Amino acid sequence: MKVIITGGGGFLGSRLTDEIIKRGSLVGISGRGEAVTEIVLFDIVEPPPPREGRVKVLTGDIGDLAQAYALIGPDTASVFHLGALVSGGAEANFDLGYRSNLYGTMNVLEACRRLPHRPRLIFTSSVAVYGGKLPAVVTDDTAPVPQTSYGVQKLCGEHLINDYSRKGFLDGRSMRLPAIVVRPGKPNTAASSWCSGVIREPLSGVATNCPVAPETGLPCLSPRRVMEAFIAVHEAPAEALGHNRTVLLPGLTVTAHDMVAAAERHAGNRRFGQVSWQRDPFIQNIVDGWPKALSAARAASLGIKGDDTIDEIVRGFVEDYLETQIALARAG
């Protein structure tokens, strides 16, 4: 079976590629496990060179309908639609945010609708769909009222996937992701980028600034756990999802202060970079509008688990990425 990953040049796309290669098979159009014979990574920036013969890389713009049609052909069995302009970027650039996050998603859906079969589509949404006056704990039943353009774009994507699935054009599933921590690499324009930065940079010996108050908390999920969730949501039978194809993922609520403290506990004898605390009102305002705690019963029913402690999250980063991150920091 052929699998396409939009946003395949990013961290989650790269890690998902490794996860699929390791598994070797996914549920295919037949409804049974099928060997993955080809993985296509598509991104607006050139994805890393293929690490394995089944992997191909393509550069393009998902906001271009013709490119979406060329990408998603009759041999496509599954699409993981990760490609998006991140939250801070979508809020700062209204037009580009809608082109990437709404029209790009519509293009993927239309390309899937043209196929002679119903492909399985996984869409990465976000807890940014919530906003306004929220309960202390957001649940599967909490009404989404986004307060950012990014959140609106993601919520529109969820509704479209429900409708295209209802019409039988595809077998879609949306995942509402909390902040994914710790992401390796360099900072980006996501409003949650600081969550990784206050752990990643200090452990690499690099000074960093936290743009939110120390007591600011938000739900976090580790890369290890989010990969498990990707596979679980993809493999779940359609009957387990019903008419609502959106799954809220779990997240461990952690404050900025607790993130830095956990990083310090895992520094060992490494040089620990200084963390300053200078607020950015733009970032603080976005983050303040997000949920502070999650209860994801529906995800639990699919076997999806969250992280138990922030130390577990940091330990996973140290084991999986820290040496590479230190080398990146030294290279400048």
Indicate which residues carry an active-site annotation: 150
Tokens in use for 232? 């679980």
H helical segments located in the chain:
11-23, 65-71, 87-92, 94-98, 104-113, 149-166, 193-203, 223-235, 256-265, 281-288, 297-301, 310-320, 322-331
Give Cα 119 to chain centroid, integer Å. 20
Residue 194: phi and psi, rounded to 5, are -60, -30
Check: CB of residue 175 under 8 Å from CB of residue 82.
no
Tokens in use for 332? 């400048």
H-run or E-run covering 186: none
Dihedral over Cα of 39, 116, 159, 85: its sign: positive
- What is the secondary structure of 88-153 as a DSSP string? HHHHH-HHHHHIIIIIHHHHHHHHHHTSSS--EEEEEEEGGG--SS--SSEETTSPP---SHHHHH
